[in-house]
Amino acid sequence: MRSLAITTVRNEGAFLLDWLAHHRAVGFTDFLVFSNDCTDGTAEMLDRLAQFGGLTHVAQSGPFARGPQWAALKAADRHPAKAAADWVLVLDIDEFVTIHAGDHSLTALRAALPEATAIPLTWRLFGNCGVVEYVDRPIPEQFTRAAPRGLIWPWRASLFKTLFRNDGSYARLGVHRPRQPDPARLHGQRWFDGSGRELPPLYHRQRLFTPLGQNCQRLVQLNHYPLGAMHSYVLKCDRGRANREASTFDMSYWVERNFCSEDDSSIAALAPQTAAIRAELRADPVLAALHDRAVAWRQARFEALMLTEAFRALFGRLLMTPPSQPLPGPTIRQLAAWAQAEARQGSRPAK
């Protein structure tokens, strides 16, 4: 059973080996990685990893009309690695598949949901929790506090990435879900959330988030570390978004994701396997040197950005902003009512 993870990276070499080691421990057999104008050695790391097998590197160079991620997905649709896969997942390098079923592997997850043709992996947002400096240590070990399960506001907490059977039912890849379904094949689709509940047919064609307010993570969740250390977030803002060519990050992105309400160390169940694979990768002197180069690049880049007023101001705001607090129920209900009212207005014919 071939399971393919597809991702797009730019200047992420310092995190690459940790992410790859974890997902190999989970059970992904193949990786299709697109790099975009990297200056920290990420592309060279990927070329070296490709020599060992199980990973394919495709170097891209902008500009991109819709952003590098959409360009990568368009290319991935036609790539032999995608055609050869039985299961496919598109995810980012700050997202870690965390399986609670059985031995925490993809095999165990599929055994728990044998009828599933697609499994939306709901985000669990992990906050910054006051970590200032970037250090060379695996992200899941540093950030262990997250948003409450079933968080309703912001609704982005219920976004998912879709692990799906690559059986031809969908013609195109998407950031969060497969796209362009074949109407003749939709009758055979069975989508289950991360708690094992079957989702209605609407999910076979659309939807980007699992039902609001429900715990959809009893069997599997997608640990999302969108912030990292404050130093890393400054570099993320410098880099810009992968799916929008001319867009960046700001304090609104930070505030809507910096939840540190509950401890969650469940990803540590695979830590011994991950550590062994990471050690094997770091034993290669070429990869080890490239990793160290990427770490040094991040540290030097942060220092360079601190000589610019806009990035100093951003860093100062991060230091002054405490972790976000979940909103009380009555406030959430009022926000939802306003959203529903707007939707009703939008459905009325223009006068």
Q: What is the mean pLDDT of residues 24-35?
A: 98
Q: What distance in Å separates the CA atoms of residue 257 and residue 126, rounded to the nearest whole number?
A: 7
Q: What is the mean pLDDT of residues 239-249?
A: 59
Residue 182 tokens, joined: 């074949």
Q: What is the mean pLDDT of residues 169-195?
A: 96
Q: Which of 199, 211, 195, 208 is nearest to 99 (CA)?
A: 195
Q: Which of 233, 226, 231 is nearest to 300 (CA)?
A: 231
**Cis peptide bond prior to 154, omega within 30° of 0:** yes
Q: What distance in Å separates the CA atoms of residue 332 and residue 65, rounded to the nearest whole number?
A: 37
Is the CB of residue 118 less than 8 Å from the CB of residue 163? yes
Q: What distance in Å separates the CA atoms of residue 119 and residue 162, rounded to the nearest whole number?
A: 6
Residue 248 has pLDDT above 80, yes or no: no
Q: What distance in Å separates the CA atoms of residue 164 and residue 161, rounded to the nearest whole number?
A: 10
Is the CB of residue 105 less than 8 Å from the CB of residue 99? yes
Amino acid at 181: P
Between residues 290 and 340, the one the model is more confident about: 290
Residue 137 has pLDDT above 50, yes or no: yes
Q: Which of 237, 259, 256 is nearest to 306 (CA)?
A: 237
Is the CB of residue 116 less than 8 Å from the CB of residue 191? yes
Q: What distance in Å separates the CA atoms of residue 58 and residue 1, rounded to the nearest whole number?
A: 23
What is the number of alpha carbons within 13 Å of residue 4 lying toward its C-beta?
22
Q: What distance in Å separates the CA atoms of residue 38 and residue 42, rounded to the nearest whole number?
A: 6
Q: What Rg do the C-alpha atoms of the chain give, in angstroms?
A: 20
Q: What distance in Å separates the CA atoms of residue 267 and residue 271, rounded to the nearest whole number?
A: 7
Name the H helices within 122-190.
139-142
pTM: 0.95
Confidence band for 351, pLDDT divided at 50, 70 and 90:
very low
Q: Is 92 helix (H, G, I), strand (E, B) or coil?
A: coil
Residue 246 has pLDDT above 50, yes or no: no
Q: What is the mean pLDDT of residues 202-208?
A: 95
pLDDT value, residue 21? 98
Residue 31 tokens, joined: 């990786």
Q: What is the mean pLDDT of residues 60-79?
A: 90
Residue 348 has pLDDT above 80, yes or no: no
Is the CB of residue 138 less than 8 Å from the CB of residue 271? no
pLDDT value, residue 241? 63
pLDDT value, residue 63? 78
Q: What distance in Å separates the CA atoms of residue 169 and residue 165, rounded to the nearest whole number?
A: 9
pLDDT value, residue 322? 96
Q: What distance in Å separates the CA atoms of residue 270 and residue 104, rounded to the nearest whole number?
A: 7
Confidence band for 247, pLDDT divided at 50, 70 and 90:
very low
Q: What distance in Å separates the CA atoms of residue 72 and residue 32, rounded to the nearest whole number?
A: 10
Residue 245 has pLDDT above 50, yes or no: no
Residue 251 has pLDDT above 70, yes or no: yes
Domain range summary for the chain, segments of one domain joined by +: 91-344
pLDDT digits (tens, 9 = 90+) for 300-317: 999 999 999 999 999 999
Beta bridge partners of 125: 224
pLDDT value, residue 173? 98
Out of 8-17, 240-249, 336-345, least confident range: 240-249
pLDDT digits (tens, 9 = 90+) for 311-341: 999 999 999 999 999 999 999 989 989 988 9
pLDDT value, residue 67? 84
pLDDT value, residue 339? 87
Q: What distance in Å separates the CA atoms of residue 338 and residue 340, rounded to the nearest whole number?
A: 5
